[in-house]
Chain A
Amino acid sequence: GAGVSQSPSNKVTEKGKDVELRCDPISGHTALYWYRQSLGQGLEFLIYFQGNSAPDKSGLPSDRFSAERTGGSVSTLTIQRTQQEDSAVYLCASSPRQGTHEQYFGPGTRLTVT
Chain B
Amino acid sequence: GNSVTQMEGPVTLSEEAFLTINCTYTATGYPSLFWYVQYPGEGLQLLLKATKADDKGSNKGFEATYRKETTSFHLEKGSVQVSDSAVYFCALSRTQGGSEKLVFGKGTKLTVNP
Contact = CB atoms under 8 A, between A and B. Distances in A.
Q: Do A and B bind each other?
A: yes
B56 interface: no
A99 B95 contact: yes
Contacts of A65: none
A24 to B, nearest CB: 14
How many B residues touch the partner, as a band?
20 to 34
Contact of B32 (A98, A101, A105): A101
A45 B42 contact: no
**8 tightest Cβ-Cβ pairs between the two chains A and B:** A56-B99, A43-B104, A105-B44, A101-B32, A45-B101, A107-B43, A101-B93, A42-B106
Interface of B: 32, 34, 36, 42-46, 49, 51, 89, 91, 93, 95, 97-107
Given A56-B99, A101-B51, 13 more contacts: A42-B104, A42-B105, A42-B107, A43-B102, A48-B99, A50-B98, A50-B100, A56-B98, A91-B44, A102-B49, A103-B93, A105-B44, A107-B42
